[in-house]
Homo-oligomer: A and B are copies of this chain.
């Protein structure tokens, strides 16, 4: 690198926002409205206070907070101090929070008073815990010093995000300043952010640093509008009063948006970006009916959130609504700052290199990614890092196919595929078929042991309120949509689907329960 190149860092984004649009509102949080100048000053004060407290370059600082101004400020203030931000999922158990504090070696934990209270008397392996109620007193010790918005090495770690895997201990995914910067620029370009953007925080900021939109919105001097909890009424109130034109979220957020009593036709363009699980064509249709534009992206914690986008093609506007729902539900192609996605066979070539599946939409393989939009590695876990990057590409654990048009379609998590009579059955495909029946409010499909076929799909279905339907009718409906062998052997009606704090279905829990009941 030439000596005069500036190291890439998203810190520059807040520097620029405060320089170019100092009086523009950068953050709305309840009744508080912070200008970009106030945003930048708060980050400087936090950084100064952290240094005064004893944070040295590379030290981890943990946050346990809802979507609020302080957590946005931390995305700049912690790295500005040279620290590494560890934004912890607020829905984790006290033990899990303690584990993450310990594994990351965080010396300091800052958090919302109620979230800290809820930790009870769990032992937190940090030097100090500070309530965000007392943040003003803490930052006051920062003094008036100014820290340049620069880093000495763009490959330094900026944050560690712990995976919310449904099995095993969470792993600490390291993001770099360079990766955060480049991913944020992809978000700007693909989501179409600019200075007029009013971004609603329906996505948790602790989730992949809000898919890097904590940085992307500020890169173009846009406006963050905080939302502490995903409630339909509050989302619609903020859309209407704050002029929201962008938001992101898992398909459950889309459902909340579409099914709220306050839902109404939109008065201005609203872009809703979704990922986390493939949205069902039904939800896709509902969101579009409101007048919103849906953008479908795909990624993992290990890829800074979104890595690929289902980029619309010329001619898609001539498709029928149903056809459009289907093509838009795919995971698509790498974003502009990402490398291409590949779908590869489980067996590498003789020389160890990965072998692509046929681009026929049929041959299933693992989705792999690499480059600037992929993590540096797992913190303090060289073995997992080496495993994840076997063959020089990051292995997502997600199974998919490559379509003839170069778009990737996710079929299932590797561990959630049902292998029935030697055929792979994507549980997602079965779930989407069931979800398209009007009686079905929620659904999950898992594989259960089957004497004849090895495994067979089983569905857990939540029906809409006051609706009744026979399992046979649902099975028949499914068979009109997908191959008969993919239809569930059993359908069990239930009141609720068990989910993790980030909305992932606890399929393992369901599988374990099935195994236990089968063995009795």
Contact = CB atoms under 8 A, between A and B. Distances in A.
Nearest to A196: B314
A105 to B, nearest CB: 20
Interface in A153-173: 154-155
Given A19-B340, A406-B20, A2 B219 contact: no
Interface stretch (A202-210, A274-282, A371-379): A371-379
A336 B219 contact: yes
B19 A339 contact: no
Interface string A214-252: 000001100000000000000000000000000000000
Given A16-B334, A16-B336, A20-B406, A6 B371 contact: yes
A363 interface: no
Interface stretch (A127-135, A185-193, A262-270): A185-193
A392 interface: yes
Given A176-B2, A370-B4, A16 B340 contact: yes
Interface string A63-107: 000000000000000000000000000000000000000000000
A194 interface: yes
A178 interface: yes
A4 B185 contact: no
Nearest to A5: B372
Contacts of A13: 336
A371 B5 contact: yes
Interface residues of A, number: 48
B176 A4 contact: no
Contact of A178 (B5, B24, B219, B334): B5
A21 interface: yes
Interface string A1-13: 1101110100011
A314 B21 contact: yes
Interface of A: 1-2, 4-6, 8, 12-13, 15-16, 19-24, 154-155, 176, 178-179, 185, 188-189, 192, 194-195, 219-220, 311, 313-314, 333-334, 336-337, 339-340, 370-372, 374, 376-377, 389, 392, 394, 406
Dominant SS among interface residues on chain A:
loop
Contacts of A16: 333-334, 336, 340
B4 A392 contact: yes
A313 B219 contact: no
A370 B2 CA distance: 12
B313 A5 contact: no
Nearest to A407: B20
A6 B155 contact: no
B15 A340 contact: yes
A337 B5 CA distance: 11
B2 A376 contact: yes
23 contacts: A4-B370, A4-B371, A4-B389, A4-B392, A5-B178, A5-B179, A5-B372, A6-B339, A6-B370, A6-B372, A16-B333, A16-B336, A16-B340, A19-B406, A20-B333, A20-B406, A21-B314, A23-B314, A185-B336, A185-B337, A188-B189, A189-B220, A219-B336
B24 A314 contact: yes
